[in-house]
Amino acid sequence: MATTSPPLSPGSPRWRSTPARLLIAATVAAVGAFSALMVMPDANAAASTLGAAAAQSGRYFGTAIAAGRLNDATYSTIAGREFNMITAENEMKPDATQPQRGRFTFTSGDQIYNWATQRGLQVRGHTLAWHAQQPGWMQSLSGSALRQAMIEHINGVMAHYKGKLAAWDVVNEAFNEDGSRRPSNLQGTGNDWIEVAFRTARAADPSTKLCYNDYNIENWTYGKTQGVYNMIRDFKARGVPIDCVGLQTHFTGGSSLPGNFQTTLSSFAALGVDVTLTEVDVTNASTTQYAGLTQACLNVPRCIGITVWGVRDSDSWRASENPLLFDGGGNKKAAYNSVLNALNAATPNPSSPAPSGSSTPPAGTGRIVGAQSGRCVDVPNASQNNGTRVQLYDCNGQANQTWTLTSGKQLTVYGSRCLDAAGSGNGAAVQIYACGGQANQQWNVNANGTITGVQSGRCLDVWGTGNGQQMQIYDCNGQANQRFSLS
């Protein structure tokens, strides 16, 4: 049984040893099963970039970016072309954002955010509370003083980026390999520190998805995986705000794609959280492993996106292992093609019939924007009079998503009034916020006409409403004054 001792996280200033992790290599049969599910797409239907291909199934495909490399033309060209989600490699971590207590700096983080949003790309925040890469002043604290410093840091950083980011990795790498809590300085403030971090984050920015992020939680039977799973299950049962779990998915040395990887994803998703692959890299960019992890995500509806940790092999924290999808010269590798083919194979066939009452939407940016002033949706057969406020309910990732975009650019509801808003209980009322015309729109219109929530926000762009404000949504009762259209 292979073992390895990886560093805690890419982008760390030095290598850090951890207890040997128990890893189960993917069996040939498991990889074969993944591969058998992939079908080569029709060339006319296939998207030509990773981000575009992922978006066709309502997902993202992202990368980690370092601000210091953005002046590299090859690097920035690939990143801007291929990906539709960006994570700051180090620039939003505690030591970068609050090097001195009470003195926040966002210059490098904002450089990445501005670069991404100017290109229409979304941004994930990484990370708010972590035992590593703490500034020196924070490392010197303990107990209640450290707890207060953590709260102040979360509030300060999230206030700066409020309403702008798709998600935050609120807490990073808080578990040991056996599933117990890591004995960090943050753990020393009390076992409830993770819960406090998530509650603080929700209060600081209700519109952003809140994630727990960790490595070595890909194998369903592994102790660490079970420890994280049990924490999230407890949080969901007690109403602690958590929207997603990030699996770093570093497959290194003796580790490889576990045969039960999809079971892990679906088991987390069944708790009512979204699942993301946040820091993907694979030794020697194994084509079968990249294709397998991509297909596993595509097979789980609440696996909403994949992020590779770096652009080219030469940019990777594991550069000597050539673990990414582009080589040092910026050329696409065989693994790139395997991932692109898997993403394109998941795209709904444009020639297949759309659901009753809808049609394939016209080409556009994928944003739903309010036309003129109205904020209206058409709720067929509703008993309300025209203009009555509509109650919208969460379908919680189930198959009964019922919002479609009709050929007349109306949003209609079939039966129940449901949207998939991750983080709410099935049937619970959904709070929907206006994005105010910003780039971080959170609802995608899929090729089959359905509308699904993406990453953080439960946001629609409603003209005339301030960014982050709760929307007043009214029933148009079948009238002609529908106010939402596809841009």
Quick: pLDDT tens for 357-404. 222 333 334 445 444 334 455 554 444 555 555 555 555 444 334 454
Distance CA 435, CA 416 (A): 25
Do residues 252 and 321 make contact, with C-beta atoms less than 8 angstroms apart?
Answer: yes
Lookup: tokens for 244: 């997603």
Distance CA 112, CA 86 (A): 8
Distance CA 447, CA 240 (A): 34
Flag whether pLDDT at 224 surpasses 70: yes
Flag whether pLDDT at 78 surpasses 50: yes
Q: What is the pLDDT of residues 293-306, one digit of tens each?
A: 999 999 998 999 99
Distance CA 422, CA 442 (A): 11
Q: Is 261 exposed, middle or buried (0-12, 13-18, 19+ CB in 10 A)?
A: buried
The residue type of 188 is G
Distance CA 229, CA 273 (A): 11
Residue 173 is among the residues annotated as catalytic for this protein: yes
Secondary structure class of 305 (helix, strand, coil): strand
Give the C-alpha distances (Å, rounded to integers) separating 295 from 285, 301, 338.
Answer: 16, 11, 10
Lookup: tokens for 409: 């650019």
Element (H, E) at 383: none
Out of 82, 89, 91, 279, the active site residue is: 279
Q: Highest mean pLDDT range out of 41-55, 82-96, 109-123, 401-415? A: 82-96
Out of 82, 89, 91, 173, the active site residue is: 173
Do residues 224 and 177 make contact, with C-beta atoms less than 8 angstroms apart?
Answer: yes
Distance CA 265, CA 218 (A): 8
Query: What's the CA angle centered on 467, arms 466 and 470, to 5 degrees?
Result: 75
Helix, strand, coil distribution of the chain in percent, nearest 5: 30, 20, 50
Q: Buried b vs exposed e over 450-468: b needs ≥16 C-beta within 10 Å? A: bbbbbbbbbbbbbeebebb
Pairwise pLDDT comparison (129 vs 424), residue with the higher score: 129
For residue 120, name the pLDDT band (cuts at 50, 70, 90): confident
Backbone angles phi, psi at 231, to 5 degrees: -65, -45
Lookup: tokens for 101: 């207590």
For residue 165, name the pLDDT band (cuts at 50, 70, 90): very high
> Which pLDDT score is estimated for 25?
29
Neighbours of 114 (CB within 10 A): 11
Residue found under tokens 């406090």: 196
- Sequence-distant (≥ 6) Cβ neighbours of residue 351 within 8 angstroms: none
pLDDT over 90, % of the chain: 57
> Which pLDDT score is estimated for 387?
52
Pairwise pLDDT comparison (87 vs 450), residue with the higher score: 87
Pairwise pLDDT comparison (45 vs 293), residue with the higher score: 293
List, in sequence order, the alpha helices (H) in 246-373.
Answer: 261-269, 287-298, 334-345
Which residues are 444's β-sheet partners? Answer: 452
Residue 82 is among the residues annotated as catalytic for this protein: no
Q: Is the dihedral of CA 483, 434, 381, 352 positive or negative?
A: positive
> Which pLDDT score is estimated for 429?
52
Flag whether pLDDT at 480 surpasses 60: no
Average pLDDT over residues 139-163: 97
Do residues 406 and 412 make contact, with C-beta atoms less than 8 angstroms apart?
Answer: yes
The residue type of 100 is Q
Flag whether pLDDT at 242 surpasses 50: yes
Answering whether pTM is above 0.85, one says: no
Flag whether pLDDT at 67 surpasses 60: yes
Do residues 85 and 166 make contact, with C-beta atoms less than 8 angstroms apart?
Answer: yes
What is the rounded average pLDDT for all residues in the chain? Answer: 75
Lookup: tokens for 458: 């439960």
